[in-house]
Each structure stands twice: as structure tokens, then as C-alpha cells.
């Protein structure tokens, strides 16, 4: 049996306007990761493997948690959000959101257009994104033991789609709910993935850490 613990990276540079500018942890993001690492050390600290993508915010989160990275795999890298946003505005006239309420309506539109193949000249098709994430998770399930996977919200959304058979709108809603430094537990048993925990933040649940519960 394999137990997979997925973690979304800590808060990144939420004021960025491109992929490179976004890809660094904010001071709060580092703190979120440190708190999560402390929680794991107090509960169940051992992992047989530690995977991250190649992005700085992913590797930085794992290290701030206090873990040595076993393997970096680019299949765990996030979808190219800024490129998708530029494409949907240029090709369909849908501008980027200005607040959280607009973003909650905007992201499902982006994912829907992308999944239908309606966005041209983007770095990756939806089909390729699906294949790389599901292929990676299926590969990791062949690693027995407890596996830590530090990745991003879009990747976690796709993993939930793969596990639960979600449609595109359902996956989009899941992606909107994935908090920074949140925990998601899967078990590979009876030749299938089973969801045990979604979007847990035990390291942020005390009232004095309410300010640290972030989505972007």
C-alpha cells in the first residue's frame, strides 16, 4: 500500500504578473511551511520518499518544512496560469479578474476553454497536463510506503479529478478551494486511489493563525 500526502506550496508572490515573478515564497509562505513541518514532526514525521516539482516555491516549501527532497519531477510543476490568462483575454475577450469574487467565476471559464481546446498558442494542452499528472501519480503509487509530494493547486485539482472522477466544473471548484500549505491524503489500496483527507490545515487552525489561511 502507498500513502500519498500532497501539500500545496506556501503562499507565493501574489502580486506577480508573470510566472517567473510569482515563483517565490512570500515571508508568510515560508512561515506556513515551517508551521506545517513542525506539525508533522509532532505527529507523523517519517516519509519514505519526498517528491517536488522543479519550481522554486515547491522546493522552497519542502525545505522550509525541514525535509530533504528525494526527487524533483517536472510533471509536478503547475499549469501555466499567466499564459492561459493572456490567451483567454486575447482570443475570447475575457479579462483577468480584479478581486476574489471575480476570480471564483473566472478560473472555471479558463479551465473550460482550455479543456475544450479553445485556447491556441499556450505552452501545454489540457490533455498533456492531464496525462503528465495522472501518469506521475500512477508511477508514485508503485512506491510502497509513505510519500510526501509538494506541488501546486492546479496539480492537486487534477489529482482529485483523477481520484474521484470529477467533471471539469467540479475540478475547477476543487482548485479554487486548495489553500496554501494544505494537506491532502490519498491511499492506493485494492488497485485504486482512495481519498482520505482534502485541504486540511491543522497547523493553521488556531485563532492566532487565522491571518495565515490564504488561497493566493
The predicted pLDDT at position 143 comes to: 78
Is residue 51 domain-resident? no
Is residue 112 domain-resident? yes
Average pLDDT of the segment spanning 187-203 = 94
The predicted pLDDT at position 17 comes to: 81
The predicted pLDDT at position 18 comes to: 85
Average pLDDT, the chain: 95
What share of the chain has pLDDT > 90, as a percent? Answer: 89
- How many structural domains does the chain have? 1
- What are the start-end ranges of the H helices in the chain? 19-22, 27-43, 56-65, 81-92, 100-116, 126-140, 153-164, 168-177
SS3 2: strand
Instruction: State the pLDDT confidence band at 133, using cuts at 50, 70 and 90.
Output: very high
Instruction: State the pLDDT confidence band at 56, using cuts at 50, 70 and 90.
Output: very high
The predicted pLDDT at position 3 comes to: 96
Q: Given a cut of 90, is residue 42 above it in pLDDT? A: yes
C-alpha cell at 77: 510543476
Starting at the earlier edge strand, list the strands of the sheet with 192-200: 71-72, 49-52, 145-151, 2-8, 183-189, 192-200
Q: What is the pTM of this model?
A: 0.95
Is residue 63 domain-resident? no
Is residue 64 domain-resident? no
Residues 116-129: pLDDT tens digits? Answer: 999 999 999 999 99
In which domain, by residue range, is 17 found?
8-43+78-145+154-193+202-209
C-alpha cell at 196: 482520505
Is residue 58 domain-resident? no
Average pLDDT of the segment spanning 182-199 = 95
Is residue 128 domain-resident? yes
Nearest to 182 by CA among 157, 161, 208: 157
Instruction: State the pLDDT confidence band at 150, using cuts at 50, 70 and 90.
Output: very high
Amino acid at each position: 500500500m502507498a500513502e500519498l500526502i500532497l501539500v500545496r506550496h506556501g503562499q507565493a508572490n501574489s502580486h506577480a504578473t508573470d510566472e517567473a515573478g510569482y515563483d517565490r515564497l512570500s515571508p508568510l509562505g515560508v512561515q506556513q511551511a515551517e508551521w506545517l513541518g513542525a506539525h508533522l514532526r509532532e505527529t507523523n514525521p517519517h516519509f519514505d520518499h519526498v517528491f517536488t516539482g522543479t519550481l522554486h516555491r515547491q522546493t522552497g516549501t519542502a525545505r522550509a518544512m525541514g525535509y530533504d527532497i528525494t526527487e524533483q519531477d517536472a510533471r509536478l510543476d503547475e499549469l501555466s496560469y499567466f499564459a492561459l490568462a493572456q490567451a483567454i483575454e486575447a482570443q475570447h475577450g475575457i479579462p483577468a479578474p480584479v478581486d476574489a469574487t471575480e476570480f471564483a467565476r473566472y478560473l472555471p471559464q479558463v479551465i473550460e476553454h482550455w479543456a475544450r481546446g479553445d485556447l491556441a498558442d499556450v505552452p501545454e494542452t489540457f490533455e498533456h497536463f492531464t496525462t503528465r499528472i495522472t501518469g506521475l501519480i500512477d508511477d508514485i503509487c508503485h512506491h510502497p510506503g509513505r510519500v510526501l509530494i509538494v506541488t501546486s493547486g492546479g496539480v492537486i485539482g487534477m489529482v482529485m479529478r483523477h481520484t474521484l472522477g470529477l467533471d471539469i466544473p467540479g475540478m475547477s471548484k476543487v482548485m479554487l478551494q486548495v489553500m496554501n500549505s494544505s494537506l491532502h491524503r490519498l491511499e492506493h489500496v485494492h488497485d485504486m486511489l482512495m481519498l482520505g483527507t482534502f485541504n486540511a490545515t491543522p497547523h493553521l487552525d488556531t485563532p492566532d493563525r487565522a491571518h495565515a489561511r490564504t488561497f493566493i
